[in-house]
Amino acid sequence: MALGRPRAFDLDHALDQALMVFWRRGYENASVAELTHAMGINPPSLYAAFGNKEGLFRKALARYLAVRTKFWDFAIAAPTARGMIERLLRGSVEFLADENNPPGCLLVRGAMTCSEMGKDIQNELISIRKMAEHKVWERLAAAKEAGELPAEVDPCAFAGFIAAVLEGMSVHAAGGASREDLQKIVDVTLKAWPETAATAPIDTREECLTGS
């Protein structure tokens, strides 16, 4: 049986190069000519390997999630919910401030630059961000059950708050914010972590006890 022709280029390297183009230019603004030049291949090779530009983007996106966002796994593995949030925020700072990366997050930048023609791609990017937010919500909900969060805290709303901070940091980074600027945002965000009755300072004033 005849063997298929071997691919004449390194797939991971080609995807890394395509990813950088999509990250800087956005899905719609990245032309096939730019992509193939960066990847070191010709258009027929792109179409043979990935089908079309959309197929290439989806493969590059999968590599982005697998390789560039490993700090999420480190954050999820934290022993406490607060530790998870801090790892997530600090890891995002290092990711966004990395001079080897284009400024901002691909998921945020990509969704913001899509028109109606790129609606399917935009929806996929939004869906990935929503799934990430859901992971945070699950962890916060478990923390509330375990007493790590006060009973009055809404895990869904708090997860939305963290997602908004992360997305806002991406926009700030794309606008030129420094590592120090982003760290200050993290410091302020962490001060919003709600304390449980066991860790909060005891206040015997009647108005505090009655909630008035």
Query: Would you state the pLDDT for residue 111?
Result: 77
CATH number of 11-64, picked from 3.40.50.920, 1.10.10.60, 2.40.50.140, 3.40.50.620: 1.10.10.60
97: its two tokens = 């401030």
Pairwise CA distance, residues 31 & 42, whole Å: 13
Domain segments of the chain: what residues?
Answer: 11-64, 69-195
pLDDT (tens digit per residue) in 62-103: 999 999 999 999 999 999 999 999 999 999 999 999 999 998
Report the pLDDT value the prediction gives residue 193, as an integer from 0 to 100.
93
Read off the tokens for 167.
């997305």
pLDDT score of 7: 54
Q: Rounded to two decimals, what is the model's pTM?
A: 0.83
C-alpha span between 54 and 93 (Å, rounded): 29
Can you spell out the DSSP letters for the chain? Answer: -PPPPPPSS-HHHHHHHHHHHHHHH-TTT--HHHHHHHHT--HHHHHHHHSSHHHHHHHHHHHIIIIITTHHHHHHT-SSHHHHHHHHHHHHHHHHH-TTSPSS-HHHHHHHT--GGGHHHHHHHHHHHHHHHHHHHHHHHHHHHTTSS-TT--HHHHHHHHHHHHHHHHHHHHTT--HHHHHHHHHHHHTTPPPPTTTSPP---HHHHHT-
**Residue 122: what pLDDT?**
87
User: Per-block average pLDDT, block size 10, for the chain (212 residues)?
Assistant: 53 94 92 95 93 95 93 94 97 94 88 73 91 96 94 95 96 93 97 69 35 36
- The topology under which CATH files domain 69-195 is Tetracycline Repressor; domain 2 (1.10.357)
Distance from first CA to last CA of the chain, Å, rounded?
Answer: 82
CA distance 160 to 133: 7
